[in-house]
Structure 1
Amino acid sequence: MGRLVPAVTRALDILELFLDGDGTLSAPDIVRKLQLPRTTVHELVTTLATRKYLVPVPDQPGRYRLGVRPYQLGSRYAEQLDLAAEGQQVARAVAETCDETVHVAILEDTDVIYIAKVDSTHAVRMVSAVGRRLPAHCTAVGKMLLACLPEQELAARVPDDAELIAMTPHSVTDPAALREALAGIRRRGLAVEMQESNPDVGCVAAPVHDRTGQVVAALSISVPMIRWSEERRAELERLAAQGAADLSERLGHRRAA
């Protein structure tokens, strides 16, 4: 774990003071409650006010209340909670249709984090679980999400000299090969992963969009290789695309005509 930054810690301490009390504080109140130097408090409050985390209280000189920025961050957090809840419902509906394991995942740096999962009624050994993270390049959901990144951002996350770990002998570990695969995924709008995260499982995935059109997650269907065929793959791709579109619509995304 890296070193904590004192100035950031103090700024967060100030913001968290607003969780209690009447909702307004003055600089002397903060000095007294946090036992910080007046100069430090003045600089921190000025910075927070400049960034709209705090705003002056009208007709009460020297007093502050929370600004719009914490609300925006809280709204963003709520959207993520909604994504997990809506994702679980859609994943359940898709799983009931195909009786295979369905996931919804988001991208964080070069990993995927699973936020929803519904298991098949068949006994299948899976490496995934809600809350678990896996290397994005080894999974269909991860490849789908990486493929949706702008080229510059993808290059920053997966540079030419990136060391890509292998989860199975089938995992792609060469950055150039991965970028070539992602280009194909970008063209098709669907991702397929064959035994790259689990030697016994194949997977297809489709992108999930929010109301702004941004890709915020991916939905995948995983199937044991003993039930895999090109015909089954085509069917699962259709179901994954439909499920991802349904989830996108729940998030406010308007489908193209």
Structure 2
Amino acid sequence: MSEGRVIQSVARALSILELFGGTTTELSVTEIANMLDLSKSTAFGLINTLARKGYLEQSQRDARYSLGLKLLRLGGLVRKNSILCQRARPFLEQLVTEFSETVHLAIEKNGLVVYIEKIRGEKAIFVQSDVGAQNPMYCTGVGKCLLAFMPESRLERVLNQMGTLERRGPNTITDMQDLRRELETIRQRGISFDDEEYAPGLICIAAPVRSEGGGVVAAISLSGAKAGIPPKRIAEISERITQVAAQISAQL
């Protein structure tokens, strides 16, 4: 990445947009100014510019600001123009039709899982995995799958950056050596499992998607409530996930 000059006004405008997320859906000019340590006049100028361009919207009720429709439109264009999403979506829809569970398509970015496609099934349970969301790699099915098939040098850099492996669910791997052994097992069997590692009651089955050169560029997964997926179905789902991953790979 270039280390050239950063335009301060642009950086500040982007920082304003990044304040919105999770439970924060509306903010006042004063709140934004305080959160970013800006003068109220500077904050207002940036906010007014973003609002005029459609990136923020002002409520007529209380004059507070929220994200604008321009961001939604741009986000849709990113997804639409993604060859990976275009190629994968029909196959992911097949999985949802067959199993009625939620499926994901994810990539690795800066040592984290980034979800670039998600299709909810009828049996969907809440998972923090909306498109654009980021999750740890060591405790998610797609994350461990992507780790397992990384080039060795890249894998070592990512593992070294992880620090403490925080417990998320009852079966989270919290020891680095145990994680390394798990990754070797995933390489051998070609599929990854999250058995209540990310969250209690949640299981996930994931398989790698490969580019023309054979390198793993993404992972797909099927997630659902552990109570709703009996052990005898795990083998069936695993086989289909592997098949679909291979079909998507062929499209690339």
Q: Which residues of 2 match residues 80-159 of structure 1 at below 5 A? A: 81-159=82-160
Matching of residue 193 in structure 1 with residue 188 in structure 2 = no
CA distance 1:211–1:179, change in 2 (3 Å): same
User: Hey, what's the Cα distance between the residues in 2 that align with 1:119 and 1:80?
Assistant: 21
Does the 8 Å CA contact 2:193/2:206 hold for their aligned counterparts? Answer: yes
Q: Deviations over 1:146-195 (max 9, x none)?
A: 00012232122103982222322322122111111000001100001101
Aligned residue in 1 for 2:166: 165
What SS is found at the alignment partner of 1:113? Answer: strand
Unmatched 5+ residue regions in structure 2? 8-77
- 1:255 aligns with none
- Partner deviation per Cα, 1:56-94 (whole Å, 9 max, x = no partner): xxxxxxxxxxxxxxxxxxxxx999811022222221111
Deviation at 1:228, TM superposition (A): 2.5
Residues 184 and 225 from structure 1, CA distance in 2 versus in 1: closer, same or farther, beyond 3 angstroms? Answer: same
Q: How many residues align?
A: 181
User: TM-score with structure 2 length normalisation?
Assistant: 0.66
The two structures have a TM-score, normalised by structure 1, of 0.65
Letter in 2 for 1:94: L
180-189 or 91-100, larger mean C-alpha shift: 91-100
C-alpha distance in 1 between matches for 2:196 and 2:81: 29
Structure 1 runs, 4 residues or longer, greater than 6 Å off: 77-80
Report the secondary structure of 2:106's partner residue. strand
Determine whether 1:182 maps to 2:183: yes
How far the C-alpha of 1:106 sits from its partner, in A, is 0.4
Instruction: Find the aligned partners of 2:222 and 2:164 in 1 and give their Cα distance.
Output: 27
| Partner amino acid, structure 2, of 1:190 | I
Query: How far apart in 1 are the matches of 2:100 and 2:162?
Result: 40
Could you list the per-position Cα deviations for residues 82-133 of structure 1 after superposition, in whole angstroms to 9, with x for gaps in the alignment?
1022222221111111111111100113211111111111242222111101
Q: Secondary structure at the match of 2:160?
A: coil
Matches within 5 A, 1:1-257: 5-6=3-4, 81-159=82-160, 162-251=163-252
**Could you say what secondary structure the match of 1:245 adopts?**
helix
Q: What is the alpha-carbon distance in structure 1 between the residues aligned to residue 138 and residue 168 of structure 2?
A: 10
Q: Between the two proteins, what is the percent identity of the paired residues?
A: 34
